[in-house]
Amino acid sequence: MRMRAGERVCEAALQRPGRYRQLRDNLRVKEVRVGDGDTTRRLIVCHNPEEEAGDRARRERAVERIEAELERIDRLRARSGKAGTAHLRAECALRDHPSYSRYLRQTPAGRLRLDKAAIAAEEKLDGKFLLETSDPEISAEDAALGYKNLLEAERGFRELKGTLRIRPVFHRLDERIRAHVLICWLALLLVRIAERESARSWRKMRAELERIKLVTLQDAAGTVEQTTPPSGSASETLAALAVEPPPPVTSLQPS
């Protein structure tokens, strides 16, 4: 359910007291019921502590940038000599920003200021998502874990289509098409294994490992191929995956 849509049922679910049950290190659940009789709705509040920390850090960075931009706008308005009426393009851009606008309010004079009430409301949503189920038999744990599995399946389809580029298929023979799909599926399996073993995202791992380059040096004495030393993060990733780092020198050919 969209928790930021302002629906009363979402607000009621978040305000209901109760203890969370720990499912995994990064997932807790709490079941609540809203309404009476036939109109009762069964809701499951899910909380991810890791996501909570990430949401809080992202919001704090956004608020810092907004405050800096508001100070800059005030300085620009003061220099323009029209402190009460100046209308700045930067102010419009900040007001229409897709992320920052949720933390802003407009005063009767038309000036932008931080909306402390909106920031406090956002804090209550940190690391939480809300599920609704009409199944009276399924447990809250199974509903939450089933939804997480659905998200994983959807992420897998996105990575097959995007990162691994399963389409378009430049083959005509059936066996080659099947081989292409199988290779993409095996690549996705390796991605998931690497993420679980290293506790890092594939995007971060790939960015770290792509910095390791093979360099060819050549002069009158001969040719040598060397690899650049992996960074600290890349070394930790390779160690977590039990993969030996590439040797410093891969080829040496004296003249």
Instruction: Give tens-digit pLDDT for 74-120.
Output: 888 888 765 445 567 888 888 899 889 999 999 888 889 999 999 99
Asked whether residue 15 carries a pLDDT value surpassing 90, the answer given is no
Q: Which one-letter amino acid corresponds to residue 205?
A: M
Residue 85 burial (CB < 10 Å; 0-12/13-18/19+)? exposed
Mean pLDDT for the stretch of residues 196-218: 91
In contact, 94 and 111? CB cutoff 8 Å? no
- Find how far residue 24's CA is from the centre of its chain: 19
Q: What is the pTM of this model?
A: 0.61
| pLDDT band at residue 247 under the 50/70/90 scheme | very high
pLDDT at 86: 53
- CA 233, 236, 238 angle in degrees (round to 5)? 110
Mind listing the pLDDT tens digit for each residue in 20-72?
Answer: 999 877 889 999 988 888 888 899 999 999 899 999 999 999 999 999 999 98
On the question of pLDDT at 183 being above 60, the answer is yes
Q: Which of 122, 69, 118 is nearest to 95 (CA)?
A: 69
Own/partner contacts of 144-153, CB < 8 Å, gap of 24 or more, are: 144/23, 144/27, 144/29, 144/44, 144/46, 145/23, 145/27, 147/46, 148/27
Residue 37 pLDDT: 81
What residues have CB less than 8 Å from 181, skipping those under 6 apart? 166, 169
Residue 2: what pLDDT?
A: 81
- Contacts of residue 21, defined as CB under 8 A and 6 or more positions apart, other chains included, come to 28, 29, 30, 140, 141
- C-alpha separations of 100 from 22, 59, 65 in Å: 33, 9, 9
Task: Evaluate the omega torsion of the peptide bond into residue 168 and state whether it is cis, within 30 degrees of 0.
Answer: yes
**For 119-172, how does the pLDDT look when each residue is reduced to its tens digit (9 = 90+)?**
999 999 999 999 999 888 899 888 998 888 888 888 888 888 888 888 888 888
Q: What pLDDT was estimated at residue 18? A: 86
What's the pLDDT score for residue 54?
92
Q: How far is CA 189 from CA 39, 125, 186, in A?
A: 44, 33, 5
Q: What is the pLDDT of residue 164?
A: 86
